[in-house]
Structure 1
Amino acid sequence: MNSYIKSNAMFMASGILFTIFLFVALLISLEATESWDRMIGESLYRIGEMDGFFIFLSYIGSKLFFYPALIVLTLFILFKRNWYLALFLWGNLVGVRLLNTLLKTIFSRDRPSLDHVVEAGYYSYPSGHSMNSMAFYGAIAYLCYWMIKKSWLRNTLMIFCFVLIGLIGFSRVYLGVHYPLDVFGGFAMGASWLLLMSGIYSKVVHNKKINSFHN
């Protein structure tokens, strides 16, 4: 599959996931669905009494971890002189965080009335941790797919990234700061954003290679 077709496939998948995100938002607006969402969220609240574990997961799904980790990763990437990749990673993270704030403002869903185990402000839908983690760790998985040649290592790291994303999303329900549909919507929108950015990055790199060939 050439870069042009690959980029268009990413854009199409991004649009599908955005549609799913809007569908979840519609479900939240329905009283029956919203009631079920609250009930499921309350049943998962602090289940198993593993506060420390899920607080840690919530931390590595926050800006307190993302930005320092991205700075370290960027230094390595710039050492390799891959400027476009550094711009992709920063645009992906900063963009998804700004988009999440905008979407929270639009939908203005209140957070659960449960006692929050960790501090959480602003609105509930979509979950910022879920959305941002999908974009950030999803980008890491994307890089693993294209850059690691050993299949066992590549597959292991990719699986680890997606398991981590799922656990971070679940941690927000466990800690009482989000409902399940907040998390699901966050995953859909985070993946949509990541695929959009990945498609743009793929096109830019493809065009760069074409220009280099002609020059």
Structure 2
Amino acid sequence: MNTKENKVNYQPLLLFGGAFGLFFAYWVSLIASKNPFIKTFDTAVYNAIKNNSQLEHQLTFYWTQLGNTLTITVFTVILVLVLICFRDYIHALFASLTMIAANSCNSIIKNIIQRQRPHMDKSVQANGFSFPSGHSVGSMTLALVLIALIVVLIKKKPLKTGLIAFCIFFAFSIGFTRMYLHVHWPSDVLGGWCEGLAFGLIGSWLFFKALAKQREKAESKSE
């Protein structure tokens, strides 16, 4: 963990994070106002998703458990504790605050919008309001947190590329399972992805900025 960190051009992260944040705010307004486009969007996506295979249903059911609140929280706590043990305090602070901010915002919006879930299969249980999808927010934010840590801590390119690819797959596949199992509207998942991208990218921008300042201080002291 105490390896020399890779330099990153982090400036575009703020721009993209802000763009996703603005789109998410717009999406929230469409959901809150019950804009007809949302129903059209949800219907079109649902019609494109087929879940008639029992095997696919079972595999999707087990995979979606990896994105639930408990699993994401436990993994985040372990990650933060490991980073603290290696004295990577900026990394630990970044991971914990980004996850807390994203999930807190998600909880607040859920209780303000109070959107009801679609009619669900009785074999799948999901509690609380529907928008935004907590699984989608949590998995996407965690994926971006992990990607940022992978970029600065891992030097071997094949390993780095493989891990980043898995993080991206994890985030989008968890969101897909929520639609496939009909525990969330597709618009819930899209909103969750955008919220997670906004928090993850802006959090990563702050993280890389803090590392750059830390590096500058270290270089000035060594001169």
Q: Same fold (TM over 0.5)?
A: yes
| Partner residue in 2 for 1:159 | 165
Taking the aligned partners of 1:84 and 1:69, their CA distance within structure 2 comes to: 18
Alignment CA distance shift 1:42-1:110 (3 Å): farther
> For 1:159-200, what per-residue CA distance to the aligned partner results, in whole angstroms no more than 9, with x for missing partners?
111111111001111222101111111111101001111111
**How many percent identity over aligned positions?**
26
Match of 1:77 in 2: 83
Q: 1:15 maps to which residue?
A: 18
Pair 1:40-2:45 in alignment: yes
- CA distance in structure 2 between the aligned counterparts of 1:186 and 1:144, rounded to whole angstroms: 23
Counterpart position of 1:135 = 141
1:201 pairs with 2:204: no
Q: For 1:107-146, list aligned pairs within 5 A.
A: 107-146=113-152
Contact 1:45 1:173 in 2 (8 A): no
Deviation at 1:208, TM superposition (A): 2.5
Q: 1:210 offset after TM fit, Å?
A: 2.9
RMSD: 2.4
User: In 1, Cα distance between the equivalents of 2:122 and 2:184?
Assistant: 9
Q: Distance in 1 between matches of 2:129 and 2:71?
A: 21
For 2:122 and 2:172, locate their aligned partners in 1 and report how far apart those are by CA, in whole Å.
Answer: 20
1:176 aligns with 2:179: no
TM-score, normalization by structure 1: 0.87
TM-score normalised by L of structure 2: 0.84
Of 111-120 and 189-198, deviating more is 111-120
Q: Structure 2 stretches of 5 or more lacking a match?
A: 1-6
* Partner SS state of residue 112, structure 1: coil
Secondary structure of the equivalent of 1:201?
helix
Distance in structure 2 (CA, Å) of the matches to 1:174 and 1:116: 14
Correspondence 1:31 to 2:36: yes
1:59 Cα deviation after fit: 1.2
Instruction: After TM superposition, give the deviation of residue 42 of structure 1 in Å.
Output: 6.2
Q: Does 1:63 align with 2:66?
A: no
1:98 aligns with 2:104: yes
Residue 156 (structure 2) aligns with: 150
How many residues end up aligned between the 2 structures?
A: 213
In structure 1, runs of 5+ residues without a counterpart are none
Structure 1 runs of 4+ off > 6 angstroms? none
C-alpha contact 2:23 2:194 (8 A) present in aligned 1:
yes
What amino acid does structure 2 have at the position aligned with 1:14? Answer: G
Q: Is the alpha carbon distance of 1:212 and 1:36 closer, same or farther for their aligned partners in structure 2, counting shifts above 3 Å?
A: closer
In structure 2, distance between residues paired with 1:144 and 1:210? 21
Check 1:42–1:25 CA distance in 2 against 1; reply closer, same or farther (3 A cut). farther
- CA shift for structure 1 position 207: 2.3
Larger mean Cα displacement after TM superposition, 138-147 or 172-181 = 138-147
